[in-house]
Amino acid sequence: MLMRLLVVLLKIILFVILVAIGAMFALENNVNLSVNLLLLKGPNLTSGVWLIIFLLAGTILGVLASSASQLFRRKRTSTKKRKETQISE
């Protein structure tokens, strides 16, 4: 129980530190720019904010791609196990 509490506390501290670093990064990169996304033109935001937005978008896309890969792998494994049990019966 104590170990679980320490892990949660460590995760919270790490999250707060990362948010603080991201905030400092966004404040230091204060050059305004607008990003053209093929057919859309993004709002005029600072470069730090744009970098954080794209970092978060990339992280979310990476997690989704990894999750999809894991789901397909689990489905393939369960299908193989099911076929093996049918053959052995």
The per-residue pLDDT for range 15-28, each reduced to its tens digit, is 999 888 888 887 88
State mean pLDDT over 55-82.
85
Helix residue spans in 2-89 (DSSP H): 2-28, 47-88
pLDDT at 88 over 80: no
- Domain spans in the chain, listed from the N-terminal domain onward: 2-88
